[in-house]
Structure 1
Amino acid sequence: MTTFERIKNLSKEKGFSLKQVAEKSGMSSNAIYRYNQGVKPKYDSLKAIAKTLNVSVEYLTGETSTTSKPTKVDIDDDDVIMTFEGRPIPPEDLELMKRLLRGGRNDK
């Protein structure tokens, strides 16, 4: 399986288009599609995509078959796509969750 196929499959599993993952990773909306056309992704791009999809770079490149998810994620990190049961959490619900975790306070 290629890096592109891994990214595509993970994106689909998490309910995101490749365009959404690219944009959330700080890349142009069509950047990931170029990997399917023979363009080799740069390490920094893979690192950003891996962070967005909550997997390791090694998983994306096929060096390991386990996703090795990080054990700690900052809920205020807008670069991480938060999901529940494989679907993205709507922004208004995520804000409510953040407020609840802060003890009902509205401050950031």
Structure 2
Amino acid sequence: MAGDEHAGAELTRTTQHAITYASRVASAAKERNARHRADNAELIKQFEQRRLAGSGAPSTVRDAAKRFRSAGGLGNSRLPVRAESVAPSRPKAAEPPRSGDDDEDFSQERIMLRWD
């Protein structure tokens, strides 16, 4: 009987610790999300006012990127400058299907051919 009471008390204590830990993690996540939302709202305001397109834009965006990387424990402290950026490539045109390959002829007639 004493072992059951001890196990019950241990279970209660462990449950309380788990609940406390979960509430701390949830609180920290809510605070972090609120900061991100505030940062994003400020960037949206600047974008709407066309301030991000001007000369101050790169430093604002770069500062936000640095904060994001450092908050996430990510490396790469140096961002490439515009001259180092690679222009996006255009997708290549799809090749037309090959015709005349007897090895790859999977027409219904050849598949359904029955050998009795």
TM-score, length basis structure 2: 0.21
Higher relative contact order, chain-length normalized (CA < 8 Å, sep 6+): 1
More helix by share: 2
